[in-house]
Amino acid sequence: MVKIAYFSIAAVLSFRLVLSIKLRQSFAKINYFIINTLDNLDVFKHYTYYVR
């Protein structure tokens, strides 16, 4: 019974870890896309340069 409880806790923790990693990856993709679009617009080039 205790082993089953430990296993379920480990499964939940690993699932949450995978979920947070996926969320971080998607946020990184969105940020990369925004920076690229701002770079493509000449008006925002100096702004993105200062933000980085």
Determine the pLDDT at residue 28: 87
Q: Residue 39 contacts by C-beta under 8 Å, 6 or more apart in sequence? A: 45, 48
**What six digits make up the tokens of 42?**
């000449």
39 in a domain, yes or no? yes
Give the span between the Cα atoms of 5 and 15, in whole angstroms: 15
40 in a domain, yes or no? yes
Q: Which domain holds residue 45?
A: 23-52
DSSP state of 41: S
Please write the tens of the pLDDT for every residue from 1-52: 678 788 888 888 899 989 888 888 898 888 888 877 777 776 655 655 555 5
Give the span between the Cα atoms of 9 and 24, in whole angstroms: 23
11 in a domain, yes or no? no
Structurally, how many domains does the chain consist of? 1
pTM: 0.46
Give the span between the Cα atoms of 41 and 35, in whole angstroms: 10
5 in a domain, yes or no? no
46 in a domain, yes or no? yes
50 in a domain, yes or no? yes
Determine the pLDDT at residue 31: 84
31 in a domain, yes or no? yes
Determine the pLDDT at residue 50: 58
